[in-house]
Amino acid sequence: MRDIVYPVVIAAAKTWFKVGDVRIQMTGTEHIPREGGALVAVNHLSFVDYVLAGYPGAQRGRLTRFIAKKEVFDHPVGGPVMRSFHHIALDRADGQGGMDEARRYLDAGELVGIFPEGTISRSFELQPLKTGAARIAADAGVPLIPIVVWGTQRFLTKGKPRDFGRHKTVAIEVGEPLHPSPEDNPNLVTKDLQARMEGMLDRLIRSYPADEQPPGSWWLPARYGGSAPTPDEAAAMYAEERRRRAERKAAQRKKKSGR
């Protein structure tokens, strides 16, 4: 698989980290194999998670091919960029095609990334995980490696102005791999993955520099003393987003049909 743009972007990201004094605190990179297919499951806090969640793989000499919603690939600017990175489009209305493509990548020895929450967390806590990660890894016979990031939401996330100011910390933990098999119950594997990632996130939040997340911070979960929406409040926000999205799609279909 030929890559021209991806290495350039990685180099640019490293320059950003240096010039912007983005302090990367990362552990567990040894869990990412230097070769062979593997699936990394990442929590989702921001629009820059693709960059930071791919950093552990880059440190091991790997390029991560992320599974992303099809709408990103339909964008006139974002689409060509995503395709140049050889990322994988997933149609949320019918995800089998994206899962099959991910399987082909894994069979070819690629490192594939997935956000099993399915969307950015507005509470900044881990949302219930979907079973796709467990099923893809089991079907391909590859390790399923949890990665948790913390601090990326401070740069660019839903409903907040972007802030690429200097002197921010990003914490990343790569966990020990799971090895699901086709005989395993994907719901149980997902439950295990959820518990591991929740524990990792808790460690990252508690060890994050206190002066960068004072009580009341909008990027800190409510149960840690921040002012982020609670999981229940976030769920209500998601429901409203889905309702509005469905209304827009219905209006577009009506417009196209001429009615």
- Per-residue pLDDT, 19: 95
The dihedral formed by the CA atoms of 246, 252, 256 and 259, expressed in degrees to the nearest 10? 80
Query: Residue 76 and residue 233: Cα distance in Å, rounded?
Result: 33
5-216 topology per CATH: Glycerol-3-phosphate (1)-acyltransferase (3.40.1130)
- Per-residue pLDDT, 74: 82
- Per-residue pLDDT, 68: 87
pTM above 0.85, yes or no: yes
Buried b (16+ CB within 10 A) or exposed e, 8-46: ebbeebeeebeeeebeeebebbebbbeeebbbbbbbbbb
Domain boundaries of the chain, sorted by first residue: 5-216, 229-259
Split the chain (259 residues) into runs of 10 and give each run's mean pLDDT: 86 95 97 97 96 95 92 81 88 78 95 96 97 96 98 96 96 98 97 98 98 97 97 94 86 76
Query: Residue 129 and residue 139: Cα distance in Å, rounded?
Result: 18
- Per-residue pLDDT, 259: 56
Query: Residue 70 and residue 177: Cα distance in Å, rounded?
Result: 28
